[in-house]
Amino acid sequence: MSTIVEMPLPHSESASEKNWLRARLTEDVRKLTSAAARLRIHKRKKEGKKQLKQELNNDELPAERDDKSETSLHAIPSGAKTLPNQPQLPTTTTTTSTTSLKTVAKVPDRRYSLSDLLRCLGTYVQKHCTHLSTIPSASDVAMWVRCADRALQLNGWTVNCFLLESHVVFTYMLLSRAFQQFRISSLVDVKELVLMCLYVSYTYNANEISYPLRPFLVKQDRVGFWDKCTTLSLSASSSMLRINRDRMYYEHLLTKLKAATSLE
């Protein structure tokens, strides 16, 4: 008579042990994700600080200028021998030819650095504040703009520097519209207007979806700040679209910005 041998079943984990293992794995994944996020934010801040230092060092260098050598005509030496019957050339010929060459030669346009454009922007703001008791200087306006951009980089909101030629021209376009819409009666109003236009320029042109208000607030009035931003955005919406698709319009605004100061 044959006997049936029962094989032992493999040990199976209970439901509580499975839940414990699942919770443990979830906690480990959360810790790893949090550590990776902190490492990524730290790396972005470090890269932002390094790039900011490079931008500041580049701005301190003098603007490069292209020097072109002038073409000159060689006059006949005074001690040269001439034939007896050879007619003598008038001495005014060399002067006239040299003058005509200088007139025909094309003079290259001056290259404007970022510091030059910010100085132009500050001079434009200064010309609209002549009725105030305290008039901001061009360097003051440039410092307001640079400090706001630097604060965003140091706090990890942006890695790359926002201050480019196109963004300065965009801010100038908004400022020209803001001076027509809003009344300024003090230096605080001027600073609020400049930083408000810079904030709208950030939200329209920069990479992030939104940016904090703290670096741009002057009066700590969030409701009033948002109302002015909305009013300015609605009134300048057509110009904001046009400057991105019309190259001639952009060049026109850039020329007007450069004409705000006597750098030529």
Q: By residue range, what is the domain housing residue 219?
A: 114-258
Rg, the chain, Cα only: 33
The predicted-structure confidence for 59-115, as pLDDT tens digits, reads as follows 555 444 444 444 443 444 444 444 444 445 444 444 444 443 333 333 345 677 888
User: Across residues 3-27, what is the average pLDDT?
Assistant: 63
* Cut 0.85: pTM above it: no
pLDDT at 33 over 90: no
Number of domains present in the structure of the chain? 2
Mean pLDDT across the stretch 145-154?
Answer: 88
Of 71-75, 125-129, 258-262, the one with minimum mean pLDDT is 71-75
Query: Is 190 within a domain?
Result: yes
Whether 225 is covered by a domain: the verdict is yes
Residue 105 forms part of a structural domain? no
In a domain, residue 1? The reply is: no
